[in-house]
Amino acid sequence: MSDLTVSFLQTELHWHDAAANRAAIKQHLDQLTAPTDLVVLPEMFTTGFSMEAPAQAETMEGPTVAWLRERAAALNAVVTGSVIIKENDAYHNRLLWVRPDGTLSSYDKRHLFTLAGEQHVYTPGRARLVEEWRGWRICPLVCYDLRFPVWSRNQPVAPYDLLLYVANWPAVRRTAWMTLLRARAIENVACALGVNRIGRDALGHDYAGDSALLDARGNYLVEAHDQAGVFTHTLRRDELEEFRTKFTALNDGDAFEFSAP
């Protein structure tokens, strides 16, 4: 079993300017001087958290998907983050999981943020995504999903080693972000990564960042606080396996099946 080097970007976002965001993010990623396995970008990284899907959406054949393929190939790493996608006359807050060979998987955000009216614009996802990458099983989710432990639960039918959330999580609720991210790591006996943005959007919402990577004990491995930049850490497979061998709480979990309505 191999270790996994994870890089994540915490940054401000240009409001409704996909080209500017792609260019700025590329500048950040060009600073990576050592090999990495996984690059994680924030939620809606081309637009900021927007309900203006008809004007801002791209298709799966659009420029951002092509750009993600270019970045993944150049870095020889999976690159992931969410964007606004139109497909079959519906709009999705879609996380794209793009591999170096150009193939991709996707996950549509399940829990839509009703306080912002997200449910009136976007179609929710119906299934989780668990990807195997370089010896690690990874479950990527999106922002508000963090509040729902059943959806995030590590289950024997599709176990994971790393749980990650991409987000535009406002500063006013930063205590919930930090508390729940740590709880998800501890209760699922898995590493957890939360990638948030910083700055202020055009609607006046402030974002404190607080992106962080935690081990399966809930210990912080990387904390970005309110700083912009790319943060990298190598997760040790032997450390995760050793802890899981000694602390077998996942074996005592409740059996259940989840059916999305």
Residues serving a catalytic function are 43, 109, 143
The residues that bridge with 234 in the sheet, in sequence order, are 5
Long-range contacts of 150-158 (CB under 8 A, 24+ apart): 150/256, 150/258, 151/110, 151/111, 151/258, 152/184, 152/188, 153/187, 153/188, 153/253, 153/258, 154/188, 154/189, 154/190, 154/250, 154/253, 155/253, 156/250, 158/128, 158/130
Residue 9: count of CB within 10 angstroms of its CB: 25
- In 3D, which of 71, 97, 75 has the Cα closest to residue 162? 97
Measured at the CA of 241, the angle between CA 149 and CA 189, to 5 degrees, comes to 15
Using CA atoms, how far apart are residues 152 and 184, in angstroms rounded to an integer?
8
**DSSP assigned state of 251:** G
Residue given tokens 């668990």 in the structure block: 130
Q: DSSP letter string over 17-85?
A: -HHHHHHHHHHHHTT--S--SEEE--TTTTT-S-S-HHHH-B-TTSHHHHHHHHHHHHHTSEEEEEEEE
How is residue 9 written in tokens? 């970007």
Q: Which residues contact 71 (CB under 8 A, 6 or more apart)?
A: 26, 29, 39, 79, 98
